[in-house]
Structure 1
Amino acid sequence: MPTNTFFHLPEEKQQRLLDAAQIEFSRHSLQEASIANIVKLAEIPRGSFYQYFENKEDLYFYYFATLRKNSERDLEKQIIAENGDLIEAMDVYFSKMIVEVLTGENASFYRNLFVNMDYRASRRVTDNLATGEEEKNRKQHCHKHRGRKGHAAYAEHLYQIIDRSKLTIETPKEFTWFMQTAMHAVFSTIVDGYRQQRENTAYDSTEAVKQLKMKLSWLKNGAYK
């Protein structure tokens, strides 16, 4: 997370840093991105960067969180709209998300994120996509809340609002395992979508949506006839 110093900056200066992050992380993977390029684009001294962020990873995942800032609310709203049906809610929510990451204005950033993702990054991204955790922490910094509601606490909240009568999931721990499995289905579909785009310029992102729907149907109904 950014430091309190960052949150005390004028909004215009905060946005300059985020705009610089968008450009650099869309051009390069996290591993290849350069703090020197970021501070040059943001027009700030290099030393100032470390007053705001611990390292480039800190900025990277915060920028990702700003893109996904409505993820927690939207997933929760979708679960409620589907009367607690978790699979149906995930079908609607993640189908929209896949089209966004493959073809939206931040597609280059997402491509670098998903194609170059390692285990550590996948854990951060999973927490954010499933719970909006990074954005929630940002809001707590902005409003100076002392309590921090962690990923486990929000997973427990989702567990309470889903219709568990439709599932064989019996404990919050099992729910966490299920969400990890579901997120792997989402990630693998996105990565395959980028591969298809690279090989075929006419590739339609709706094909990725079809793939995800099939994977979710296997989770819901099983693969056996």
Structure 2
Amino acid sequence: MKARHLPNLLTFSRLALAVVAFVFLHLLAHAEGRPEAIRSHAFIAFWFYLVAVATDFLDGRIARRYGWVSALGRVADPVVDKVLTLGGLVFLVASPFLVRSAPFAPRADAYGELMPAWAVVVILSREFLVTALRGLVESRGKAFPAEWSGKWKMTFQSIYVLVILGAAGGVPAALRLGFLSFAWEPLVLNGLFWIVVLMTIWSGASYVARAVRLLGDGEA
């Protein structure tokens, strides 16, 4: 394998890791009422999801540093990112009972829903909108590259999924890092949820503004 293919290899390894994480998230979604199963499935899903997220930061950094950016990578990277983040969020919607499981159960009322369906609809709508805008702008011969707001959006979405999986899977306790339990204090976790929603909206608005500018000022 030539070294310049490493970023693409990392991208597709991220997809494979995401699929494995989704298998355990699927098992988690069917583990209601079985505390040990919830804990074990969430624990395993957490680690696969974490490594998958880590590869996203590696492939782009390597591609830019060594000039190994490719047409395949430009297409595959954002698609795999969407599969990873949206898949994780959808499986959280499919597991509403988690809020009534450890360690969330004692303060379940303070959390409400860990991932309400409406929030995923907002996130999906943003993705469809940006994809449509990119296609429209690029059909006019203009570049419409990803913005850092999109990366920040994905980062917060991924952190949110990881916090919930880590809490449900008992990851901090297993690592003897109990102080990390602050991450699922109701105020912190609810705040992180709203950051995810607002970052999604802000990122989408940023792309819309740029598309309107390109399409409306005669440059597109």
**TM-score of the superposed pair, with normalisation by structure 2:** 0.29
Scaled by the length of structure 1, what TM-score is found?
0.29
Q: Greater helix percent: which structure? A: 2
